Every structure is written in structure tokens, then in C-alpha cells.
């Protein structure tokens, strides 16, 4: 995206700048009502007509050393805190959510759980940490948190599109576009019925037929596009992203995602696993120490796969574990396969970090 094509280019670059623009857009009644109605569908019953732009604030320092509220709403004699995350992997601070809940408690809010919200990208890496810390602080349940206190960015963007606010207001349109461009745009690759059939072929006879089909280059290009699009959402180990005739994919940066040093998380197309009748897209979790393999399987529910390194005289066996991307995703035109792959990778990393 060129600079001149979006007024927020190089302005909305992180959660702080995004929060300021988001709050400024609440000055428009249509956008404010849209946001408040989403909040109401969670667990708050208030009259949005009595809430104006003046009721909102940003970066509000909370009393008692309880942190800083990203987006703050004071209305109807009470307060509401909105913690905003835009990156999939941004860490929580020590006050999220404990400090926020303590602040609301000190302000004599009747039900502190009802007045705290997280606005997150779907697949947020530390969602389980939010659950754990919130439950420990207030005994609130995981299901209640998910249902009543988590707002996903796609809910907001979908409503903007549904209500066509992006067509009615140029600033909302620019905001909508820059969010999609920087964070929420996933390459949406669809497969034809023939391509789906080709991906499922796993017998030798059918395999030869598959290699002769003129649609194979298109099929492979689509798979590689999905992998490359997912690549842009992660911090990758640059020293270990070389492709080969046997696979096309990338390995996550262990240090960034707090993955054990001798483990590795890879995602992409593994032709040998695929040729054994599995999904063309897999996430592999393996270890330099084969004794860790059962531990990985138990933790993640992954399947074991053995490669024979025929280049070695003793035919060394290399062991990995893998998790398939559900084959049904390829047949469902309503699913974005790239987004599903990114979310599945984050779920795996989250389990490892626990």
C-alpha cells in the first residue's frame, strides 16, 4: 500500500496509535453506536443514547498503581475498561487483568467482571493467560470471559462492512482499510473441486495421474501462497527457512515464542506426509532429542511420523510429530484457510508455553 492511498499510513503502526484513532472515530455517532451495540451484546445493559464522545478517554492512569486503561468509558455513574491488543503475540502486562479488576473493585463497581473488556485479534496468543489470571483473581469462569468480555476485531470490522459505514464516512473507510492491510488481511485461497480431489489422491496409480494433470501448478501455487501469507504473521527463524524438494514452509523463532531450545515448530507443505494421505498443510513439532517426542504428542495430541534418511548408509530415521490442517477447510468456501492456519499455529504455541 503506497503512502498516498491511506491517510493513516505510518500513523496507525501499533496499539497506542490505533487506540487514539479508534477513540477519535467514536466522535461519529454511527461508529459510536456500532461499538456500543457490540458491547451490549456481551453483558452490559445501558442506554447508548446517553453516551457521547466526551464519555471516552484513552491512556487513563488508574489509581493505586493498577496500570493504564487503553480505552476508558465513564457513563451512567460507572466505568468501563477496554484493553486493546492488535498483534497476535503482544504480551500481557502485570496489570492485565488483575490491576484493572482491583481498580474497578476500589471504585465500588458492583460487578467488576462486567466492566472489563479485551479487544483482541482472533487467535491471540495469550488468551489462555487472560483466562488463568482472571479466574485466579475473581473466580470468573473461562466460558463467561469468552462470551461476555472478549470482543474480536473481526466483529467490529464485520459490522462496519455490514452497516456500510466505510461507504458513508471516508475516515472510517480509511481506518477499515489500514486495519485490514496491516493486521487482518489473510490471503483467501479457494480450491476447485478437481484440486480438492487431487489433494486427496494417495495411491500410487492415482499419484501418477495426479502428476500429469495440468492443474497441478495452480494447485501448488495456491498452497505456497497460503504458507507465504501465514509467514507474514509470524516471527520466523531466518537461519532455518530454506526450502527443499521435500517441503515448503517456515520455522518459528524459538526465542520470540518461548519455545524450548531443542524443540522446533514448523508449518507448511510436507510432500512426504501429504503423499501418505494426510493434509497438504501441516504444523510439525519436533525435538533434537527423540525422547521428547512422546511428551510432545501428549501435550499437543500430535501424530508421529518417521522419515528415512536414505542418504545415510545406516538409513537414519528422523522422527517428527505433526498436526494436520483439517481437510474439510479446503471444501468450505466460507472458511479462510490462511486465517485458520495462523490460528491453529497460535493454539499450538499457546499450549507449548503453558
Q: Kindly state whether residues 34 and 178 are assigned to the same domain.
A: yes
pLDDT at 161 over 60: yes
Strand ranges for the chain from DSSP E: 56-61, 68-75, 78-84, 116-120, 150-152, 247-251, 263-270, 281-287, 303-309, 316-324
pLDDT at 305 over 80: yes
Q: Kindly state whether residues 211 and 293 are assigned to the same domain.
A: yes
Asked which of 164, 184, 204 is the last residue of a domain, the reply is 184
Q: Cβ-count burial of 285 within 10 angstroms (0-12 exposed, 13-18 middle, 19+ buried)?
A: buried
Q: Kindly state whether residues 299 and 201 are assigned to the same domain.
A: yes
Percent of the chain predicted with pLDDT > 90: 56
Q: 325 near 279, Cβ under 8 Å?
A: yes
Which tens digits make up the pLDDT trace of 260-297?
Answer: 999 999 999 998 898 888 889 999 999 989 999 999 99
Q: Which residue is it, cell 490442517? A: 325
Number of domains in the chain: 2
Which tens digits make up the pLDDT trace of 98-148?
Answer: 999 999 999 988 889 999 999 999 889 899 999 999 999 998 999 999 999
Q: Kindly state whether residues 227 and 176 are assigned to the same domain.
A: no
Q: What is the mean pLDDT of residues 312-320?
A: 71
pLDDT score for 206:
46
Q: Kindly state whether residues 55 and 200 are assigned to the same domain.
A: no
Rounded to an integer, what distance in angstroms lies between the CA atom of residue 200 and that of residue 189?
Answer: 17
Q: Kindly state whether residues 342 and 270 are assigned to the same domain.
A: yes
Q: Kindly state whether residues 81 and 129 are assigned to the same domain.
A: yes
Asked which of 134, 162, 184 is the last residue of a domain, the reply is 184
Q: Kindly state whether residues 244 and 165 are assigned to the same domain.
A: no
Radius of gyration of the chain (CA): 23
Beta strand 116-120 with 78-84 is parallel
Rounded to an integer, what distance in angstroms lies between the CA atom of residue 38 and that of residue 44?
Answer: 10
Q: Which residue is it, cell 468509558? A: 73
Q: What is the mean pLDDT of residues 342-347?
A: 93
Q: Kindly state whether residues 179 and 327 are assigned to the same domain.
A: no
Give the domain CATH number at 90: 3.40.1350
Q: Kindly state whether residues 311 and 215 are assigned to the same domain.
A: yes
Q: Kindly state whether residues 271 and 135 are assigned to the same domain.
A: no
Which grid coordinates are listed for 278? 494426510
Which residues lie across from 118 on neighbouring strands? Answer: 83, 150
Rounded to an integer, what distance in angstroms lies between the CA atom of residue 174 and that of residue 10?
Answer: 13
| Length of the chain (residues) | 354
Asked which of 150, 184, 218 is the last residue of a domain, the reply is 184
Q: Kindly state whether residues 258 and 346 are assigned to the same domain.
A: yes
pLDDT score for 200:
63
- Is the pTM here over 0.75, yes or no? no
| Domain boundaries, position 204 | 193-353
Q: In degrees rounded to 5, what are phi and psi of residue 191?
A: -115, 140
Rounded to an integer, what distance in angstroms lies between the CA atom of residue 52 and that of residue 38?
Answer: 16
Which tens digits make up the pLDDT trace of 25-82?
Answer: 999 999 999 999 999 999 777 777 789 999 999 999 998 889 999 999 998 888 999 9
Amino acid at each position: 500500500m503506497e503512502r498516498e492511498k491511506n491517510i493513516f499510513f505510518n500513523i496507525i503502526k501499533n496499539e497506542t496509535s490505533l487506540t487514539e484513532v479508534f477513540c477519535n472515530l467514536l466522535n461519529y455517532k454511527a461508529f459510536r453506536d456500532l461499538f456500543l451495540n457490540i458491547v451490549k451484546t456481551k453483558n452490559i445493559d445501558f442506554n447508548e443514547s446517553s453516551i457521547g464522545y466526551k464519555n471516552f478517554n484513552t491512556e487513563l492512569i488508574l489509581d493505586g498503581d493498577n496500570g493504564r486503561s487503553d480505552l476508558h468509558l465513564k457513563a451512567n455513574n460507572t466505568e468501563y475498561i477496554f484493553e486493546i491488543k492488535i498483534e497476535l503475540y503482544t504480551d500481557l502486562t502485570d496489570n492485565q487483568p488483575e490491576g484493572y479488576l482491583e481498580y474497578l473493585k476500589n471504585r465500588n463497581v458492583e460487578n467488576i467482571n462486567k466492566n472489563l473488556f479485551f479487544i483482541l485479534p482472533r487467535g491471540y496468543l495469550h488468551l489462555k493467560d487472560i483466562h488463568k489470571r482472571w479466574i485466579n483473581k475473581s473466580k470468573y469462569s473461562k466460558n463467561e470471559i469468552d462470551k461476555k468480555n472478549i470482543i474480536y476485531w473481526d466483529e467490529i470490522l464485520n459490522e462496519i462492512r455490514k452497516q456500510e459505514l466505510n461507504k458513508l464516512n471516508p475516515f472510517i473507510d480509511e481506518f477499515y482499510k489500514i486495519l485490514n492491510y496491516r493486521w487482518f488481511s489473510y490471503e483467501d485461497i479457494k480450491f476447485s473441486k478437481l484440486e480438492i480431489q487431487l489433494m486427496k489422491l494417495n495411491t500410487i496409480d492415482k499419484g501418477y495421474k495426479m502428476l500429469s494433470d495440468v492443474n497441478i501448478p495452480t494447485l501448488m501455487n495456491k498452497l505456497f501462497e497460503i504458507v507465504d501469507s501465514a509467514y507474514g504473521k509470524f516471527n520466523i527463524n531466518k537461519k532455518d527457512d530454506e526450502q527443499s524438494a521435500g517441503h515448503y514452509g517456515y520455522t518459528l523463532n524459538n526465542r520470540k515464542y518461548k519455545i524450548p531450545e531443542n524443540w522446533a515448530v514448523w508449518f507448511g507443505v510436507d510432500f512426504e506426509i501429504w503423499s501418505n494421505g494426510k493434509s497438504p498443510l501441516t504444523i510439525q513439532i519436533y525435538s533434537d532429542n527423540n525422547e521428547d517426542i512422546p511428551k510432545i504428542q501428549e501435550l499437543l495430541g500430535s501424530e508421529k511420523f518417521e522419515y528415512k534418511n536414505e542418504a545415510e548408509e545406516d538409513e537414519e530415521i528422523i522422527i517428527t510429530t505433526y498436526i494436520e490442517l483439517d481437510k474439510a477447510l479446503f471444501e468450505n468456501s466460507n472458511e479462510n484457510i490462511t486465517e485458520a492456519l495462523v490460528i491453529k499455529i497460535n493454539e499450538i504455541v499457546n499450549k507449548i508455553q503453558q
